[in-house]
């Protein structure tokens, strides 16, 4: 891949760039474990959806970036084992040097590979798959195809969840969501767009997810107490967007 990797710092926040002003990841230097960007916080709403203290045990992350999601789950879910697939070795080196990516081969396996090829060639299964992979042009390539989403479904355990960052696909985000829905028997929804334009899609296998928003808010308060992550604004936006008829989130 022929792109430069730039690190910038402003107002106590360190950001990762792939040869442009697009922010590929961010870390508040005083709080390296916190999720700085809105879309990363929204992706973690998936942690509330199974109501299981042991969810997730096995996590696959496609795309490392500044390691924000990786560090958050690693820190606050000590029972979870993580596999991170990153196509560009320089990104891994930068995440270690500048973004405090942990080194713990027992719990954190970093694989240098193409995400779509990896998921096609390995038959391990996961409770949670997080897809946040983009090139320097902010395009996902093979990570936004029907075969890829079908393969993600095949790699999920019973009651597994897929979360995809549909960044910058303003014209095509609906098409991306339809591909995910097709792969998951229509069991998918998109969270309302962040200020940054990111749309987060969530899909599920196994038992139907049917949770009252009030119950989700209670869980969100517990998560905030445990980790400092405040998902209440995300749930309020979900409510306002009328994505949950009758106050029930159903996937």
Share of the chain above pLDDT 70, in %: 92
Mean residue pLDDT across the chain = 90
Could you give the angle at the alpha carbon of 2 between the alpha carbons of 8 and 164, nearest 5°?
70
Could you report the per-residue pLDDT of 115-125, keeping only the tens digit for each? 999 999 999 99
pLDDT of residue 172: 65
Q: What Cα–Cα distance (Å) separates residue 102 from each residue in 47, 75, 99, 131?
A: 21, 9, 9, 20
Could you report the per-residue pLDDT of 158-181, keeping only the tens digit for each? 999 999 998 654 566 888 999 999
Residues in the chain: 251
Could you report the per-residue pLDDT of 140-156, keeping only the tens digit for each? 568 889 999 999 999 99
pLDDT of residue 159: 94
Identify which of 37, 36, 35, 8 has the alpha carbon closest to the alpha carbon of residue 21.
8
Known active-site residue 104: no
Query: What is the Cα–Cα distance from 127 to 150, expressed in whole angstroms?
Result: 15
pLDDT exceeds cutoff 70 at 1: no
Q: Which fold has domain 35-206?
A: Rossmann fold (3.40.50)
132, 158, 185, 195: which one is catalytic? 132
Q: How many CB atoms lie under 10 A from the CB of residue 122?
A: 14
The whole-model pTM stands at 0.94
pLDDT exceeds cutoff 70 at 137: no
Q: pLDDT-based confidence at 111, cuts 50/70/90?
A: very high
Q: Residue 93 — φ and ψ, nearest 5°? A: -60, -40
């Amino acid at each position: 891949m022929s792109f430069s990797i730039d690190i910038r710092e402003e107002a106590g926040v360190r950001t990762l760039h792939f040869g442009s002003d697009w922010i590929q990841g961010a870390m508040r230097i005083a709080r390296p474990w916190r999720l700085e960007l809105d879309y990363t916080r929204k992706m973690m709403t998936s942690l509330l959806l199974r109501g299981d203290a042991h969810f997730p045990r096995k996590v696959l992350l496609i795309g490392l970036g500044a390691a924000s999601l990786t560090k958050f789950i690693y820190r606050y879910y000590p029972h979870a084992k993580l596999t991170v697939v990153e196509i560009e070795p320089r990104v891994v080196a930068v995440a270690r040097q500048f973004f405090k990516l942990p080194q713990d081969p027992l719990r954190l396996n970093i694989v240098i590979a193409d995400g779509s090829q990896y998921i096609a060639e390995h038959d391990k299964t996961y409770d949670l798959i997080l897809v946040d992979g983009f090139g320097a042009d902010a395009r996902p390539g093979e990570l936004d195809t029907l075969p890829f989403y079908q393969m993600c479904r095949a790699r999920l355990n019973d009651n597994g969840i897929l979360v995809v960052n549909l960044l910058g696909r303003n014209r095509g985000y609906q098409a991306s969501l339809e591909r995910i829905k097709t792969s998951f028997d229509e069991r998918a929804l998109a969270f309302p767009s962040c200020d940054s334009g990111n749309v987060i899609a969530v899909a599920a296998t196994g038992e139907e997810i049917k949770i009252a928003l009030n119950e989700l808010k209670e869980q969100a308060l517990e998560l905030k107490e445990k980790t400092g992550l405040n998902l209440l604004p995300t749930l309020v936006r979900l409510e306002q967007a009328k994505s949950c008829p009758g106050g029930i989130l159903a996937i």
